[in-house]
C-alpha cells in the first residue's frame, strides 16, 4: 500500500524536431504559447512530477490542449519523453525492452478511451474477451472471465448481442468490461465517459465506484469535468498549458484552489456537495474522556463544556456523558468519515449537539456541528457567486 504504483519525475514532452531550445525556454519560465511563437515547437507536457498511489483513482484535469492525453501516453509509453522518467511498480518504463513493454501493456495496463472502438461483427462477449484473446488466454477461460466482468457492469444478458444492438452507454460499458477483463494493475481511462449524456455518465461513474469497492484498482482517469473529478477522484491533478498547477484531494482543491485557473473550474458547481464528514469535522471541538474518574471528568468538563464523548482504550466510541450526569454513559449516534455532506446535514440538523465522526473501525476522529456545516456551505458557495 505504501510504495506508489506510478511515479512521474520531471516529465517533459515537446513535439518537434529540435526540442532543446524549447526546453531551455521552458526552464526559464516561458509559457507554451511563447515557446510556440518563437520555435514552432508544441509543448505537450512540461516538468511534471507526481505519484499515483496503489488503489487510488487519480484524475487528470485541465482544459483542452493542456496535456492530459500526452501525459498518460507518456505513462504507458505510447509517447517517448523528451526528458524525465516514469516508474510503474518501481520499474522504469523507458528502460524496459520492446517485448517487456508489450507484456507490461497487456498485463499491467489497460486503456479505456472515449470511443471504445468495439468490433462490430463480434458479440459483446467476444469484444469483452478481446484483451484476453490478445494475451493468449484460451477460449473457455477468457469467455468465463469476460462473462464475469459483463455481470459486474450489468450486461450479462446482452453477452450474445452485437454492439450495434446496444445503446451508446451500454457500448461504453462493454469497453470498460474489456479493460477490466484483463484484470490490470493499472487502468488508464482517457475521457472514457465524456461522450455520454449526463445521466449515463453518472451511471458509469457509479459502476466504476462500485467496482472500486469490490476490487481496489489503481486508475488514472482523464476528465475535463470537475464534477466528475470530485465524484470519483481520490486525488485530482490539474494541468494548464502542459504544466501541473495543483495536485490534491477533492477537499484540498475545493478548500485551497491554487489560482484563478483552478477556480474557473468551480463555476456553476456547488463544491460543498463533494465534502465528506472527514473534510468537515473538527478534531478539538468536543472534549473526550477515556477514564471516568471524578478528577478527570471535572478537569474535562470544567465550566464551558457541557458534555464529552467517552472513548475506550482503543479510542473506540462508547457514548457521551453530560456535566450533570457524569457516570451515565449514554449512547450517541455517530457519522462515518466518508459520509456525504447531505447525510451529515440531515443527521446534524436532527440532533441538538455536535455528533461524533468515526472511522471504519469505529474509532473516534472528530465531531461535526451545525456551525461547521454552515461555514462549509457558505464558504464554498461564496467562491463562485
Work out what residue 306 binds among ligand ATP, Mg ion, none; the CB cut-off runs from 5 to 8 Å by kind. Answer: none
Indicate the residue among 108 and 191 with the shorter CB distance to ligand ATP: 191
Instruction: Using CB under 6 A, pick the residue from 19, 44, 163, 233 that binds ligand ATP.
Output: 44
Min CB(66)–ligand ATP separation in Å: 4
The residue at minimum Cβ distance from Mg ion is 69
Helix intervals (H) in 104-167: 124-128, 130-134, 139-152
162 by Cβ neighbours in 10 Å (0-12 / 13-18 / 19+) ranks as: middle
Binding mask 54-73 for ligand ATP (x = CB under 6 A): --------x-xxxxxxx---
| Rounded least distance, CB 174 to ligand ATP, Å | 22
Minimum distance, C-beta of residue 62 to ligand ATP, in the bound complex (Å): 5
Stretch that binds Mg ion, among 47-55, 65-73, 82-90, 202-210 (CB under 5 A): 65-73
Query: Smallest gap, in angstroms, from Cβ of residue 291 to Mg ion?
Result: 58
Please work out, in degrees rounded to the nearest 5, the angle formed at the alpha carbon of residue 210 by the alpha carbons of 119 and 155: 35
| Nearest-angstrom CA–CA distance, 76 and 71 | 9
Work out how close the CB of 191 gets to Mg ion at its nearest, in angstroms, rounded to a whole number. 6
- Provide the b/e sequence for 176-194 (b: ≥16 CB within 10 Å): bbbbbbbbbbbbbbbbbbb
Sites for ligand ATP among residues 188-227 (CB under 6 A): 224
Q: By the 8 A CB rule, do 178 and 189 touch?
A: no
- In this structure, how many other beta carbons lie within 10 angstroms of the beta carbon of residue 43? 30
Q: Which partner in ligand ATP, Mg ion, none is near 44 (CB below 5 to 8 A by kind)?
A: ligand ATP
From the list ligand ATP, Mg ion, none, pick the one residue 283 interacts with, judged by a Cβ distance below 5 to 8 Å according to partner type: none
Rounded CA separation 293/184 (Å): 55
Which of positions 9-28 make contact with ligand ATP (CB under 6 A)? Answer: 15
Inter-CA distances, 187 with 48, 91, 212, 237, Å: 20, 17, 11, 16
Binders of ligand ATP: how many residues, by CB under 6 A? Answer: 12
Between 143 and 228, CB nearer to Mg ion: 228
Considering the complex, state which of residue 237 and residue 253 has its C-beta at the smaller distance from ligand ATP: 237
Q: Select from 39, 69, 123, 334 the one that contacts Mg ion (CB under 5 A).
A: 69
Contact partner at residue 15 from ligand ATP, Mg ion, none, CB < 5 to 8 Å by partner kind:
ligand ATP
Q: Which of residues 282-301 bind ligand ATP (CB under 6 A)?
A: none
| Nearest distance from C-beta of residue 44 to Mg ion, angstroms | 10
Per rule CB under 5 A, is residue 223 in the interface with Mg ion? Answer: no
Angle made by CA atoms 165, 189, 152, in degrees to the nearest 5:
55
Task: List the grid coordinates of 329.
Answer: 454513559
- Cβ atoms of 248 and 236 within 8 Å: the answer is yes
C-beta of residue 348 within 8 angstroms of C-beta of residue 369 = yes
- Which residue, 69 or 272, is less far from Mg ion as judged by CB? 69
Angle, vertex CA 215, rays to CA 211 and CA 219, nearest 5: 75
Q: From residue 68 to residue 107, what is the string marking binding to ligand ATP with x (rule CB under 6 A)?
A: xxx-------------------------------------
For 13, 14, 24, 27, 232, the CA distances from 18, given in Å and listed in that order, are 12, 9, 11, 16, 39
Pick the closer one to Mg ion by CB: 42 or 286: 42
State the distance between the two ends of the chain, measured CA to CA, in whole angstroms. 40
| Least CB distance to ligand ATP at residue 227 (A) | 16
CB of 38 to ligand ATP, least distance (A): 15
Cβ nearer to Mg ion, comparing 66 with 380: 66
Residue 52's nearest CA partner among 220, 188, 189 is 220
Q: Is 42 in the site for ligand ATP (CB under 6 A)?
A: yes
Closest alpha carbon to 120 in 170, 177, 161: 161
Query: At its nearest, how many Å lie between ligand ATP and the CB of residue 78?
Result: 10
Q: Which residues bind Mg ion (CB under 5 A)?
A: 69
Q: Which residues bind ligand ATP (CB under 6 A)?
A: 15, 42, 44, 62, 64-70, 224
Amino acid at each position: 500500500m505504501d510504495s506508489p504504483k506510478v511515479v512521474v519525475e520531471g516529465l517533459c514532452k515537446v513535439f518537434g524536431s529540435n526540442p532543446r531550445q524549447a526546453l531551455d525556454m521552458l526552464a526559464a519560465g516561458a509559457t507554451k504559447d511563447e515557446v510556440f511563437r518563437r520555435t514552432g515547437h508544441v509543448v505537450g507536457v512540461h516538468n511534471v512530477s507526481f505519484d499515483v498511489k496503489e488503489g487510488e483513482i487519480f484524475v487528470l484535469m485541465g482544459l483542452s490542449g493542456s496535456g492530459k492525453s500526452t501525459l498518460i501516453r507518456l505513462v504507458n509509453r505510447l509517447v517517448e519523453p523528451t526528458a524525465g522518467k516514469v516508474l510503474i511498480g518501481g520499474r522504469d518504463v523507458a528502460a524496459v525492452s520492446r517485448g517487456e513493454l508489450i507484456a507490461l501493456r497487456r498485463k499491467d495496463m489497460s486503456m479505456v478511451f472515449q470511443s471504445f472502438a468495439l468490433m462490430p461483427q463480434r458479440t459483446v462477449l467476444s469484444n469483452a474477451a478481446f484483451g484476453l484473446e490478445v494475451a493468449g488466454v484460451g477460449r473457455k477461460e477468457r469467455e468465463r472471465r469476460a462473462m464475469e466482468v459483463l455481470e459486474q457492469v450489468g450486461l450479462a444478458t446482452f453477452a450474445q448481442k452485437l454492439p450495434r444492438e446496444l445503446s451508446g452507454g451500454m457500448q461504453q460499458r462493454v469497453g470498460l468490461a474489456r479493460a477490466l477483463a484483463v484484470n490490470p494493475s493499472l487502468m488508464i481511462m482517457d475521457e472514457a465517459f465524456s461522450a455520454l449524456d449526463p445521466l449515463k455518465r453518472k451511471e458509469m461513474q457509479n459502476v466504476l465506484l462500485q467496482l472500486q469497492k469490490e476490487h481496489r484498482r489503481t486508475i488514472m482517469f482523464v476528465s475535463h469535468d470537475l464534477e466528475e473529478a470530485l465524484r470519483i477522484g481520490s486525488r485530482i491533478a490539474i494541468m494548464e498549458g502542459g504544466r501541473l498547477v495543483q495536485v490534491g484531494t477533492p477537499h484540498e482543491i475545493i478548500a485551497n484552489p491554487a489560482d484563478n485557473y483552478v477556480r474557473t473550474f468551480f463555476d456553476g458547481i456547488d463544491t460543498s456537495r463533494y465534502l465528506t464528514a472527514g473534510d468537515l469535522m473538527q478534531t478539538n471541538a468536543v472534549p473526550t474522556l477515556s477514564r471516568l474518574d471524578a478528577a478527570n471528568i471535572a478537569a474535562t468538563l470544567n465550566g464551558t463544556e457541557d458534555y464529552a464523548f467517552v472513548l475506550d482504550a482503543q479510542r473506540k466510541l462508547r457514548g457521551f456523558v453530560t456535566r450533570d450526569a457524569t457516570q451515565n454513559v449514554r449512547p450517541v449516534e455517530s457519522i462515518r468519515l466518508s459520509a456525504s455532506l447531505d447525510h451529515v446535514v440531515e443527521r446534524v440538523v436532527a440532533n441538538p449537539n455536535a455528533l461524533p465522526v468515526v472511522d471504519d473501525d469505529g474509532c473516534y476522529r472528530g465531531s461535526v456541528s451545525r456551525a461547521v456545516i454552515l461555514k462549509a456551505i457558505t464558504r464554498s458557495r461564496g467562491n463562485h457567486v
